[in-house]
Amino acid sequence: MTAGHWDAVLTSLDDAAALSGVDPAIHAVLRVPERVLEVAVPVRMDDGSVEVFAGWRVHHNTTRGPGKGGIRFHPDIDAEEVSALAAAMTFKTAICGLPFGGAKGGVRCDPSKLSLTELERLTRRYTWEILPLLGPDKDVPAPDVNTDDRVMAWLMDTVSLAHGQLVTTSVTGKPLALGGTVGHAGATSSGVLACVRSAFTELELPIAGSRAAVQGFGKVGGPLVFLLQSAGMRVVAVSDVRGAVYNPGGLDAFDLADHHRATGTVAGFPGGEAIDPEELFAVEAELLVPAALAGAIDEATAERLGARVVVEAANGPTTTRADDVLGRRGIVVVPDILANAGGVTTSYFEWAQNRQGYAWDEELVAERLRRTMDGAFRSVWARAEALGVSLRRAAYALAVERMAEAITARGIFP
Ligand code: NAD
């Protein structure tokens, strides 16, 4: 699965380089990560034993600014997966015009098996090991799968202690009490909603009454279900790692959230019938949002996909072959590097506020996020129309052109 994600990034990149006719030297630069740091993370477990975890921090490209990208704690990650995610950050920040490069990090572990104190020790030791790469003008991490504001607070504290002073600009997605921004929680979901609105407007589909299926009910999928319902959509199916629920009349977002809070899963929600999580993709709907992990939509799934529009909240949810199938079937896909950029955009706002030493209010954050997402969507849509290609191919072409401009301007040292 993981090698497939990196391959998918390279396939998209190669295609974009050909489409936009960039200098082959720049194409070659973008085909490899700038630096890959692999670290051993020894952690004293609560029973006194020591476990050694593997961790990575990858800079894919930092030509346009400091590395930016989340930190993932997951049993399935490896250097290739982290590199694929880092590359996606390079393209995402370029598409949204954010002054950042692409980075990503992670530790191979199962956080559900760690106690809170073990998780803290793991986070701090991992931070310590990747410290040479970090800094407000070098690399600014953020949360990703299985990491949250608490983990970011530990990370910031570790960096700050190492520097002998508080460095709020060293990480985003922090708690509000430590210089986090209003609107960070739910920012990715808001960006996804902005893309749903733009896509539906372009396709002349009504939002009100349209049906949506959402895979994943975490930091992105959870708030998104609320936002879709608030926008007037009927969320008919939701899944998570433990199961899926379906109700053609619509699942109630509030009741579902209560159930999830009480049980830790959407499975068993009494407001809908249980379905196999794989069936979620076949559910007849106007919209499908994959908001879980990479590789969720393969060729077979794409063949029986029941939605008209796919907006990729997750990173790399569609395999290359599946993408071809969706294209052939006329299913419009808003690609991850555009659709889920709301999180990194708001991370940029947090970093900017910390640098300014001046906190923005919620309206300003929301308004600037909407403007950034709408602008990015318009640029990608216009490029797709001009080139006569899919939104994914257009998004990558746009990103590669912006990267080429920046790399050419800086030149290849020495
Ligand atoms: P999360 O850990 O909070 O939630 C992940 C969700 O996916 C959980 O509900 C989990 O149960 C579910 N899931 C896992 N495996 C599944 C499976 N096989 N079938 C169905 N559901 C499954 O993670 P998140 O932060 O919500 O991230 C989700 C995706 O969005 C990831 O691909 C991540 O890289 C991407 N993303 C997240 C952000 C962000 O701001 N958090 C920003 C950009 C992209």
The pLDDT tens digits for 81-111 are 999 999 999 999 999 999 999 999 999 999 9
Alpha carbon distances (Å) from 165 to 125, 128, 171, 179, 355: 19, 15, 14, 14, 15
With 0-12 / 13-18 / 19 or more C-beta atoms within 10 angstroms meaning exposed / middle / buried, residue 249 is: exposed
- Taking the centre of ligand 1 as the mean of its atom positions, its distance from the CA of residue 268, in whole angstroms, is 20
Task: Give the contacts of 85 (CB within 8 A, at least 6 positions apart).
Answer: 5, 58, 69, 70, 72, 104, 144, 315, 316
**pLDDT at residue number 8:** 86
Q: What is the pLDDT of residues 122-138, one digit of tens each?
A: 999 999 999 999 999 99
**In this structure, which topology does domain 32-166 adopt according to CATH?**
Rossmann fold (3.40.50)
pLDDT tops 90 at residue 2: no
180 contacts 202 by C-beta, under 8 angstroms = no
* Residue 236, helix vs strand vs coil: strand
Mean pLDDT, rounded, for 299-303 = 98
pLDDT tops 90 at residue 269: yes
Residue 216 dihedral angles phi and psi, to the nearest 5°: 105, 135
**pLDDT at residue number 293:** 86
- Taking the centre of ligand 1 as the mean of its atom positions, its distance from the CA of residue 144, in whole angstroms, is 8
User: Which residues make up the CATH 3.40.50.720 domain(s) of the chain?
Assistant: 187-330
**Which residue from 110, 144, 239 has its CB within 8 A of the most atoms of ligand 1, so it is best to mutate?**
144
**pLDDT at residue number 185:** 87
106 contacts 138 by C-beta, under 8 angstroms = no
User: Which residues make up the CATH 3.40.50.10860 domain(s) of the chain?
Assistant: 32-166
Q: What is the pLDDT of residues 163-203, one digit of tens each?
A: 999 999 999 999 999 999 999 989 999 999 999 999 999 99
129 contacts 83 by C-beta, under 8 angstroms = no
**146 CB within 6 A, ligand 1:** yes
**pLDDT at residue number 180:** 97
**192 CB within 6 A, ligand 1:** no
Task: Please name which of 227, 222, 281, 289 lies closest in space to residue 256, comparing C-alpha atoms.
Answer: 222
- End-to-end distance of the chain based on CA atoms, in angstroms? 38
**Which residue from 85, 219, 275, 278 has its CB within 8 A of the most atoms of ligand 1, so it is best to mutate?**
219
Sequence letter at residue 307 = A
pLDDT tops 60 at residue 69: yes
Q: What is the pLDDT of residues 207-263, one digit of tens each?
A: 999 999 999 999 999 999 999 999 999 999 999 999 999 999 999 999 999 999 999
Sequence letter at residue 178 = L
**pLDDT at residue number 1:** 40
The answer to whether residue 104 is catalytic is yes
pLDDT tops 90 at residue 152: yes
Task: Give the contacts of 97 (CB within 8 A, at least 6 positions apart).
Answer: 372, 375, 376, 402
97 contacts 371 by C-beta, under 8 angstroms = no
pLDDT tops 90 at residue 5: no
**pLDDT at residue number 242:** 97
**In this structure, which topology does domain 187-330 adopt according to CATH?**
Rossmann fold (3.40.50)
C-alpha to C-alpha distance for 90 and 170, rounded to whole angstroms: 18
Tokens of 246: 């379906």
- Taking the centre of ligand 1 as the mean of its atom positions, its distance from the CA of residue 241, in whole angstroms, is 10
User: If you take atom 18 of ligand 1, which residue's CA is the nearest one?
Assistant: 241
Mean pLDDT of the chain: 97
**343 CB within 6 A, ligand 1:** yes
User: If you take atom 36 of ligand 1, which residue's CA is the nearest one?
Assistant: 314
**218 CB within 6 A, ligand 1:** yes
Tokens of 260: 């999830």
- Taking the centre of ligand 1 as the mean of its atom positions, its distance from the CA of residue 48, in whole angstroms, is 32
Total Cβ atoms within 10 A of residue 117 = 12
Mean pLDDT, rounded, for 47-75 = 98
- Taking the centre of ligand 1 as the mean of its atom positions, its distance from the CA of residue 294, in whole angstroms, is 9
